[in-house]
Structure 1
Amino acid sequence: MENKHRKRILITGAAGFLGSHLCDRFIAEDYDVIGMDNLITGDLQNIAHLFKLENFDFYHHDVSKFVHIPGDLDYILHFASPASPVDYLKIPIQTLKVGSLGTHNLLGLARAKQARILVASTSEVYGDPLVSPQSEDYWGNVNPVGPRGVYDEAKRFQEAITMAYHNAHGLDTRIVRIFNTFGSRMRLNDGRAIPTFIAQAIRGEDITLFGDGSQTRSFCYIDDQIEGIYRLLHSDCIQPINIGNPDEISLLQLAQEIIELTGSSSKISHRPLPIDDPKQRKPDIGLAKAQLNWQPKIDRKLGLEKTIDFYKKVPLETLSHKDFTYYNQK
């Protein structure tokens, strides 16, 4: 229900991991929130607690098709996209369409409503980086025709068309490059390392690790990520901004850490490394510090403890999904 005294925001991908936490944050900030999701990877359970609220509405819709929202809009957050290899390898065309057609539709909506739009990009625009840490002025090392290309290039195009709308039409735009993020509500069967490792450890199963585990990632807890996105939306930063935690760790170390934190008897099982698996992920967050006065506050251990507590409350049968294998941490 629209309230003329509240700011009004559309959040696409609202039933997903990041999208649902963003809905929570903007509800807490007393916005009128419109969630939109086609539920191809999202889950209504993530936002079920919001349906009773008078300042939350939900549209079951695919943003790759024309998007209409009645009334005024102040902001749009475009977070609709498959975000894990398990998903975008299964639905490559939909992944490309939501990054291209979906972004085009939402930029058009933002222009019609004179709304500010923030689009969710990713550290994947850097590909398998030749420099570390990755700063926003690094152009990346991406294979456009490899298995990950459908996601990487969708996001790179998304950034390009967003800047084109800003430059050609004066549209008020923001771009966030999201590095590895974890916390509650991550799907257990989507191939990402942390929920997969946690669930396997809780069950005492072998933890599946691709390659020798020396590839690194830098994990940001969800609360810190949401704070960074919130600050970016309300900033004057037009250029892309990295939001992530620069505390780098190898995936082998991560698996060992999760075994220790869960008190599990799990062993580590190695599998061949997938094609184009990035060897390093570490954000340079200098711009975020300078422009947003933001940096992560929650260290990995505390974040993992919170996340493990969340998954310990999940029914065991949920933790043993037949596709439950770490594929390729985004």
Structure 2
Amino acid sequence: MKILITGFSGFLGKFLHKKLKELGHEVIGINSKTNDLTKVDALDEFNDIKFDQIFHLAAWTQAGDFCMHHPAEQWIINQKMNTNVLSWWQKHQTQAKMIAMGTSCSYDPDLPHIEGEYLKGKPIDSLFTYAMTKRMLLTGLRALNKQFGLSYLYLIPSTLYGPEYHLDGRQMHFIFDLMRKIIKGTLYDEKVTLWGDGHQKRELVHVDDFIDIMLKLVESQNNTLINIGSGKDFSIREFASKISKIVGYDEVKINYDTSKYVGAKSKILNVDKLLKILPEFQMRTLNEGLESTAKWFSENKDKLLKQ
């Protein structure tokens, strides 16, 4: 198949690009350096290629408190990008299936994180603008399906983790930041300070598991949204304890700064719909995933220590 990936140099994108190439597909990957998706003609060079699938992974965002400080830019840039991609799809690639990424932060924290509630209520204030651009992306997909019959799949991942995460100075998602701090604490024999009280709970899914699930869903599911998660959450303290044991750090040295940004208190996706579609799929255990991820971080400690 001929496949286009936007945001292919991001964490998910590079693993997906590699997997699709291994499966023998003809894959074109683009990023912000090759194609500025805020420009209406950003994808015109591909007009004559008839893609079978388009994976729209590109988004202008970062982890941590980035969203709090860039709400206007997040709205303008992401809305332009999503509108331009969907408009190009409708004009030039109607035969292609669009696979787009949502975000768990689009859910109202006080409502069940089940697909039918995705557009209901109000997302958390600190992530509100980014969350709403993702809701608008789903709305756009539904509109193009309704009016033009285009086929899509909208996937909502829990936090992805695994090796080969970026070490270029950008803010990190919580699990990578935990590893960075605890590994540095081990190397320098120093105390570690984590944000919040440690009781906030999070859910992880390994990037390789996510891609395997996603590709299975692409084969069988159309014009719907699906949560992809492990169905199990742990507190930050539990994650910190597991990582400390893996890298040999004394977790007694960990302090918690309650004055810092913590995000939502709890984020776990309801995966009943996913389990009905793929009841036999087995994800790797959390310990397996954390061990391989920590091993990669430790092997790249020179870059890690510059963070």
TM-score, with structure 2 as normaliser? 0.87
CA distance in 2, matches of 1:250, 1:110: 41
Residue range with higher mean Cα deviation, 203-212 or 162-171: 203-212
2:177 to 171, 196, 199: 196
- State the partner residue of 1:142: 122
Contact 2:230 2:283 in 1 (8 A): no
Aligned pairs for 1:154-173 within 5 A: 154-173=133-152
Q: Could you say what secondary structure the match of 1:84 adopts?
A: coil
1:72 to 34, 46, 50: 50
Contact 1:122 1:155 in 2 (8 A): yes
Residue range with higher mean Cα deviation, 99-108 or 216-225: 99-108
- State the partner residue of 1:23: 17
Does 2:214 align with 1:223?
A: no
CA distance in 2, matches of 1:37, 1:95: 17
Contact 2:106 2:128 in 1 (8 A): no
1:116 to 97, 103, 108: 97
5+ residue gaps, structure 2: none
CA distance in 2, matches of 1:89, 1:14: 25
- State the partner residue of 1:327: none
* Paired residue type of 2:149: G
- State the partner residue of 1:234: 219
Residues 87, 20 of structure 1: alpha-carbon distance in 2 compared, 3 angstrom cutoff: farther
Residues 12, 90 of structure 1: alpha-carbon distance in 2 compared, 3 angstrom cutoff: farther
Does 2:285 align with 1:299?
A: yes
The superposition leaves residues 220-271 of structure 1 with CA deviations (integer Å, 9 ceiling, x where unpaired) of 1111111122122222332210011112100111111111111024622222
5+ residue gaps, structure 1: 1-6, 40-59, 322-330
Does 2:39 align with 1:61?
A: no
Contact 1:126 1:142 in 2 (8 A): yes
- State the partner residue of 1:3: none
Contact 1:202 1:262 in 2 (8 A): yes
Residues 181, 38 of structure 1: alpha-carbon distance in 2 compared, 3 angstrom cutoff: same
CA distance in 2, matches of 1:223, 1:143: 28
* Paired residue type of 2:236: L
CA distance in 1, matches of 2:39, 2:132: 20
CA distance in 2, matches of 1:228, 1:96: 30
Residue range with higher mean Cα deviation, 185-194 or 11-20: 185-194
- State the partner residue of 1:128: 109
- State the partner residue of 1:282: 268
Pairwise CA distance, 1:106: 1.5
Residue range with higher mean Cα deviation, 185-194 or 171-180: 185-194
Q: CA RMSD in A?
A: 2.2
The superposition leaves residues 59-100 of structure 1 with CA deviations (integer Å, 9 ceiling, x where unpaired) of x11212222214221111110012523544454444324432
Residues 243, 279 of structure 1: alpha-carbon distance in 2 compared, 3 angstrom cutoff: same
* Paired residue type of 2:177: T
* Paired residue type of 1:99: N
CA distance in 2, matches of 1:260, 1:315: 18
1:34 to 12, 25, 28: 28
% identity of equivalent residues = 24
TM-score, with structure 1 as normaliser? 0.81
Residues 93, 129 of structure 1: alpha-carbon distance in 2 compared, 3 angstrom cutoff: same
Contact 2:156 2:227 in 1 (8 A): yes
